[in-house]
Amino acid sequence: MRVLGIETSCDETGVAVYDSECGLMGHVVYSQIATHAKYGGVVPELASRDHVRKLVPIIEETLSEAGVEKSSLDGIAYTSGPGLVGALLVGASVGRSLAWALNIPAVGVHHLEAHLLAPMLETEVPDFPFLALLVSGGHTMLIQVAGVGRYRVLGESLDDAAGEAFDKTAKLLGLPYPGGPELEKLAQQGDPARFRFPRPMTDRPGLDFSFSGLKTFTLNTVKKHEGDPTARADIARAFQDAVVDTLVIKCRRALTQSGIKRLVIAGGVGANAYLREQMRELAERQGARVFYPRPSLCTDNGAMIAYAGYCRLAAGAAEPLGFGVTARWPLEALTAA
Ligand code: ATP
Ligand code: MG
Ligand code: FE
């Protein structure tokens, strides 16, 4: 089965072709960073308009990169939530219309399910059940995954998501948007021994997270060391260490409590090299295995949407000709494939 995947939930236009025999055949991501950078964050209306301009040319580019004709597609998957409503509607209407024109089925995909299943596009894939740490721009969750569509949220952030904390802290340090990757670069030059930031909510039981306090801690530290030329890098390092260490502590707890030996790291913060290294060490210590998508499939992309859509279509999902999108959509509301 060959599926075209379309991602437009936020500020990336992603398109890919996944084939159940050949794997990932084509994969193109256009990021709107330049559009939003001067505002310091995503402007929803500008995001929708950029998707309108870019989506059809990117579909053409992806098909030509994959070397496939539209007529060879068996289905189309588009992100139907959660995300920005206007942006989602662009992908949904184009995807649904194209499927109608080609007389093939279309399926709306849950963006977070797609993030969770992204490691399935790599050569070493986890068996079910597994634990997943989803760390993205909008979410931080520990999830027990029994199968496609069978999710139990074990813990989540009570305030900022991990990616959001990276982005806001980067802004405080004067780094350009989007801050996560910039902060990682700055932290590489930092001295890990200079500052120690708190590991929020690790001193009590449970698997929830809270990252908004770290932002305030960073702000106070920045103010205290104004004029010190090396402080910014040392602060970036201390912040990254605190977030990663907190995530590692909670993952260790979840592995121990569940007895599950497979851990998936998904979402944009999963592209962070220090996080990947620390999680690999954790897995080694716990006698567990950790699975990651390649960094380009951690952040938003069409490949994960094509794959999640394939899982749904292969299980017989059939949607009517109408379509809708959902800005807020709990993962546990999904049904098993
Ligand atoms: P969601 O998936 O929750 O709807 P999103 O789609 O905006 O949110 P993703 O695309 O999965 O989020 O991830 C983007 C986030 O990942 C941003 O907050 C970004 O700063 C962060 N990020 C990307 N690369 C890195 C990195 N190397 N280190 C830390 N954070 C990173
Ligand atoms: Mg993005
Ligand atoms: Fe995402």
Choice from 136, 246, 292 to test ligand 1 binding pocket (greatest atom count within 8 A of CB): 136
Q: What is the DSSP string of 87-136?
A: HHHHHHHHHHHHHHHHT--EEEEEHHHHHHHGGGGSSS-PPSSEEEEEE-
How many Å lie between the centroid of ligand 2 and the Cα of residue 248? 24
CATH number of 2-117+297-333: 3.30.420.40
pLDDT per residue as tens digits for the range 289-317: 999 999 999 999 999 999 999 999 999 99
CA-to-CA distance for 137 and 161, rounded, in angstroms?
Answer: 6
How many Å lie between the centroid of ligand 2 and the Cα of residue 12? 6
Residue 318 pLDDT > 90, yes or no? no
CA-to-CA distance for 13 and 258, rounded, in angstroms?
Answer: 37
CATH architecture of residue range(s) 127-292: 2-Layer Sandwich (3.30)
In percent, how much of the chain has pLDDT > 90? 98
Instruction: Indicate which ligand has the atom closest to the C-alpha of 298.
Output: 1
Q: Tell me if 139 is assigned to a ligand binding site.
A: no
Domains 2-117+297-333 and 127-292 share a fold: yes
What are the domain boundaries of the chain?
2-117+297-333, 127-292
Q: What is the pLDDT of residue 177?
A: 86
Q: What is the pLDDT of residue 251?
A: 98
Q: Rounded to two decimals, what is the model's pTM? A: 0.97
Q: What DSSP element (H or E) covers 262?
A: strand 262-266
The pLDDT mean for the chain works out to 97
How many Å lie between the centroid of ligand 3 and the Cα of residue 270? 11
